[in-house]
Amino acid sequence: MAMDIAINGDNAVALAWKQIDPDVCAAYPITPQTIIVEKFAEYVANGEVTTEFVCVESEHSALTLCTSSESAGARTFTATASQGLAYMWEMLPITAAMRTPLIMAVANRAVSGPININNDHGDAMSARDCGWLMLFAENVQQAYDISIMAPRIAEHHDIQLPCMVNLDGFILTHAIERMTMVDTADVKKFVGDFKPLYPLLDVKHPVSHGNMDGPDFYYPHKCQSAMAMQKAIDVCEEVFADFAKLTGREYHLLDEYRCDDADFVAVILGSSMGTMKATVDILRENGIKAGCLMPRVFRPWPEAAIAKALAGKKAVAVFDKHLSIGAYGPMFPEIVAACSELDKLPKMYNVIYGLGGADATVAGFKKMMEEVAAGGASKITYLGVKM
């Protein structure tokens, strides 16, 4: 029975995992993800899941073990954040290239240095070129819902790519929100059985995984991954539609808020979307036709949907919680590229904000969007920074 509960983001992810009951889970603790593995270990200890739970000695081994476990034919989950994701980096493109559809929750946190445990998107954004599906949550409900939908997308036989489920560290991982659970039987039915392709454990049909490619094969293999990623646009929409039928909760490639008639649109990712929605309401009351938009799906990049949503806008402000030092925030050039074929390119601004947990407030967003609306913003603004 669908039931409303109060739960934090990490426990919501762990709850989704419990309901799915994966075959294998290997993880290494790191703040602010730790609650996920602690809670899941508790489920294991109490026999509430049938999962083989492995406490590895590092994140590098966590992702390695999960990759080979998934290749062997077991549905496998893990979770990490920040330095843990950085330590996994060597394995990230390997996991994707081996087409292992494992699921990883990422409790987004700033990457050292300086060492900082608070939220920004530096970890996920630094991993964006690795070939993983990347979905982002705005709130606890979404972190839970996406955790349930992710295996359906990743494991789809046309896709076969690993998936990161991103939720903002502390802001979502540690904050208790009201959330509606999906009935466990419905979760199991929705996710379905894992049907691996070419599993290692099928010893009667031996295959080699992780072979060495020369240029004749490396390049085409990368392109095959890119084609699978493109197909994931359709698969995401299918899975979102099925989930809406089950729960009534609608998901789309983009979460658009008051964009239809907006002149000025803020593009933003993660929990700050909620802050931006509140900002948009105030701006509207003040006569500024603002809207906001969040790419629910960051990889694959939903370029067509973005171009459609931003067509005819006067200005677009792209809010990035990460900075490619020496260039822009990571979303900005991609938003510009998505709009490049529009008849008239909106005025484009990049806003860097919230690095290392710096405050992201309605007041700050409002002032920024007022400057955008007035045409007075710089091409790149470091919002709220005190030097």
Partner 1 sequence: MTSLSLKDLTKMPVRLASGHRLCAGCAESIIAKQILMGTEDHVIVSGSTGCFEVSTTIFPYTSWNTPYIHTAFGNGAATCAGVETAYAALKRKGKISDTIKFVNFAGDGATYDIGLQALSGAMERGHKMMYVCLNNEAYMNTGIQRSSATGMGASTTTSWAGSMASGKKEFPKDLTAIMVAHNIPYVAQVSPHNWRDTVTKASKGFAADGPSFINAVSPCPRGWRFASEDTISMARLAVETCIWPLYEVVDGQYNLTAESARIADGKAEKKPVLEWIKAQGRFKHLLQDRWEPVVESIQDEVDKRWDKLIRLSKF
Residues at the site binding partner 1, with contacts judged by CB under 8 A: 23-24, 26, 50-52, 54-58, 60-61, 64-74, 76, 90-91, 94, 98, 200-203, 206-214, 217
Contact (CB, 8 A) for 351 and 319: yes
Structure tokens at 80: 């990490």
- The residue (of 58 and 340) whose beta carbon lies closer to partner 1 is 58
Shortest approach of partner 1 to residue 227 CB, angstroms?
18
* Nearest by Cα to 307 from 329, 328, 330, 334: 334
- The residue (of 198 and 382) whose beta carbon lies closer to partner 1 is 198
Place of tokens 């790149």: 380
String of b and e for 58-85 (b: at least 16 CB within 10 Å)?
ebbbbbbbbbbbbbbbbbbbbbbbbbbb
- The residue (of 63 and 273) whose beta carbon lies closer to partner 1 is 63
- The residue (of 6 and 219) whose beta carbon lies closer to partner 1 is 219
Query: How far from the centroid of its chain's Cα atoms is residue 357's Cα?
Result: 18
Shortest approach of partner 1 to residue 104 CB, angstroms?
14
Shortest approach of partner 1 to residue 154 CB, angstroms?
17
Q: Which residues, including other chains, have CB under 8 Å from residue 288's CB and lie 6 or more apart?
A: 263, 264, 369, 370, 373
Shortest approach of partner 1 to residue 1 CB, angstroms?
27
* Nearest by Cα to 173 from 253, 113, 118: 118
- The residue (of 97 and 106) whose beta carbon lies closer to partner 1 is 97
Shortest approach of partner 1 to residue 200 CB, angstroms?
4
- The residue (of 221 and 314) whose beta carbon lies closer to partner 1 is 221
In whole angstroms, give the CA distance from residue 267 to residue 99: 31
Shortest approach of partner 1 to residue 45 CB, angstroms?
16
* Nearest by Cα to 210 from 70, 75, 349, 381: 70
- What Cα–Cα distance (Å) separates residue 254 from each residue in 39, 128, 376, 385? 31, 18, 27, 29
